[in-house]
Amino acid sequence: MLSRILKSREIWFSLIIVLCAATLPVYVSGYVLGLLTIAYYFGVFSMAWDLLFGFANEVNFGPSFLIGLGAYTAGILDSLYQPPIFICVLAGVAAAMIGGVVLALPALRVRGPYFGLTTLVAVLMLQNFVVVAANLTGGEIGLTVPDIISVDDKVNYWLALGFMTISGLILYGLSRSPVGLILQASGQDTVQAGALGFNIVKHKLAAFLVSAFFSGLAGALMVFYLGAASVTTFVDVTVGVQVIIGAVLGGRRTILGAVLGAVFLIVAGEALRPLGELATFIVSAVALAVILAFPGGLLGLMRGSRGAS
């Protein structure tokens, strides 16, 4: 399995890009680094979502439920007791994984749009909870966290890049492994995959847990990068929408494409910021055009052009 992954051209290509990206702090400003740091965390969100949708075929409208659980658990723990950061992050991951099980339970019962709605409700409930329990969570104003990982842009940048690379390798490896194939089979035809003797429940649950693990970890780390948690950065439905659009735009069922899409969304949104409200309009229009014209997404487009040449 490992040898097959190492033979894949995409992985080498991606690693070269990562190496180039690692040298960026030498010649770009802290502003660009900060932007890319956020973009890398979003890349992990999108990859984790792609594992659930692209492979297990579960339409999860609630990636920000898992992200928000991880982020807020870590943030609240830190603001209350100030334990070492890694304990807060671990707690955030644990909370997100419990959230993953909560999401997985309806997924084993209901399908398609019904499951999609359940996940959407999960996000809305979390959002309502954060606003209502304001003395714990900071409510709509947000929660300020006393500790941060580092004040140095470069350290934060490399940490985010390294985290994204390792997550990407693990998720990509998983998606190409027998487990990934079984997930894909169960996503396409649950009954037949079950008839072939695979334990669908176990595999789906595992997919939810893995997705929750990376979403929660990325969310918790992002809190300690930003030094604050708020509904609009972690829980709001629009955050989830951005994660989903990133994954579909980059090319679903590719894992690596999700990073491409997410980074594009964040960077393009920031580059067009001088245009004010038109920025989101243009980014959405471009994403819609890509989806309509090239359903394979950005990565599909690159693969296609390479195949043609």
- Residues at the site binding another protein, with contacts judged by CB under 8 A: 53, 57, 59, 106, 109-110, 112-114, 116-118, 120-121, 124-125, 128, 131-132, 188, 237-238, 241, 244-245, 248, 252, 276-278, 280-281, 284-285, 287-288, 291-292, 295-296
First to last CA, the chain: 29
32 vs 284 by CB, closer to another protein = 284
Of 13 and 281, the one with the shorter C-beta distance to another protein is: 281
Does residue 38 sit in helix, strand or coil? Answer: helix
Supply the minimum distance, in Å, between the C-beta of residue 269 and another protein.
Answer: 11
Output the CA torsion sign for 158, 164, 165, 170: positive
**Shorter beta-carbon distance to another protein: residue 80 or 288:** 288
Task: Report the alpha-carbon distance of residue 88 to residue 192 in Å, rounded.
Answer: 42
Query: Closer to another protein at the Cβ: 28 or 301?
Result: 301
Task: Output the DSSP codes for 234-266.
Answer: HTSHHHHHHHHHHHHHH-TT-SHHHHHHHHHHH
C-alpha pair distances (Å), 239 with each of 9, 156, 250: 32, 21, 17
Q: Which is nearer to another protein, 195 or 292 (CB)?
A: 292
User: Which one, of 71, 106, 45, lies nearest residue 244 by Cα?
Assistant: 45
Find the shortest distance in angstroms from Cβ 14 to another protein. Answer: 24
User: Nearest CA to 76 among 34, 129, 123?
Assistant: 129
Minimum separation from the CB atom of position 125 to another protein (A): 6
- Least separation in angstroms between CB 27 and another protein: 34
Q: What is the rounded distance in angstroms from the CA atom of residue 161 to the CA atom of residue 169?
A: 12
CB of 294 to another protein, least distance (A): 8
Query: How far out from the chain centre does Cα 114 lie?
Result: 22
CB of 163 to another protein, least distance (A): 27
Please say which residue, 18 or 102, places its beta carbon nearer to another protein.
Answer: 102
